[in-house]
Amino acid sequence: MAIQYIFEILGTIVFAISGSLAAGEKSTGQDWFGVTFIAFITSIGGGSLRDMLLGSYPLVWINDVNFIYAIFFGILLMRLFYTYLDKYRKQLMLFDTMGIALFTILGTEKTLELGFHPVIAAIMGMFTAVMGGVFRDMLTNSIPVIFRKEIYATACLAGAILFLILYQFDVHRTLNFILSGSLIMAIRVLAVYYHWSIPKFR
C-alpha cells in the first residue's frame, strides 16, 4: 500500500512537470496561474474522470491534499530548473512516458479491484493516463495528444492488457507493474524514435 502511494504521488509530480512543460509551449496560459491550472488539469484530469465514471468517491486528490502539494512541487521544480531543463526538452518527454505508464497500471488495477469487468479496467487505465492530457489540449485549443501521429494511447492499452493477463495468471504484483509499465514505456519510446503510427482506418 505504501509503495502504491509513493508511486501515485510520484506519478502526480511527473505529470505536473510534463504539464507545466506543455503549458510553456502553448500560446495561451503562460502566466503563473495558467501554467499551474494546466499542470493541475494534466495531473488530476484522468484519474478524476475515471473515478467520476466509476462513481468511486471521494476522488483521490480531494481526500488527500498531498496530491495538490505534489503538483505545486512539480511546477516549482520545473520553474527552478527551466533554463537548464529547456535544453533537454526531448529527454523530458520521458517524464510524460513515465507518467502514462504509472497511471495506466494504477488505473487498471484500481478499476479491477473495485470489481469491474477487465474490459472496463483496460479502458479506465488508458483514460487515467491520457485524459488529463486530452483535457489540457482541449483547454488550449490544440489537437488532443491521442490523435497525433505517434502511438500514445494504444501503448497504454497494450500495457493495460498485459497487466490484466499477468494478473489473471497471479504474477507477483511488483513484477507485473514492472513488466506492464516497461511495455508501455518501450512502445512509446520506440514509436517516437521510429515514427510508428497506427494504421489508417480507411
Residues that bind its own copies (CB under 8 A): 20, 23-24, 28-35, 37, 48, 52-55, 57-59, 62, 65, 68, 79, 82, 116-117, 119-120, 123, 134, 138-141, 143-144, 146-147, 153-154, 197-202
Closest CA to 97 of 25, 55, 150, 170: 150
Beta bridge partners of 150: 197
Cell readout for 6 is 509513493
Bond prior to 199 in cis (omega within 30° of 0): no
Given the C-alpha cell 508501455, which residue does it identify?
184
Nearer to its own copies, 131 or 177 (CB): 131
Nearer to its own copies, 45 or 177 (CB): 45
Nearer to its own copies, 103 or 177 (CB): 103
In the bound complex, what is the minimum distance in angstroms from residue 39's beta carbon to its own copies? Answer: 10
Torsion of CA 81, 155, 146, 86, to 10 degrees: 20
Q: Judging by beta carbons within 10 Å of its beta carbon (0-12, 13-18, 19+), is residue 52 exposed, middle or buried?
A: exposed
In the bound complex, what is the minimum distance in angstroms from residue 57's beta carbon to its own copies? Answer: 3
Residue 198 DSSP class: P
Nearer to its own copies, 11 or 45 (CB): 45
Nearer to its own copies, 45 or 99 (CB): 45
**Which amino acid, 140?**
T
Contact at 8 Å (CB) between 127 and 106?
A: no
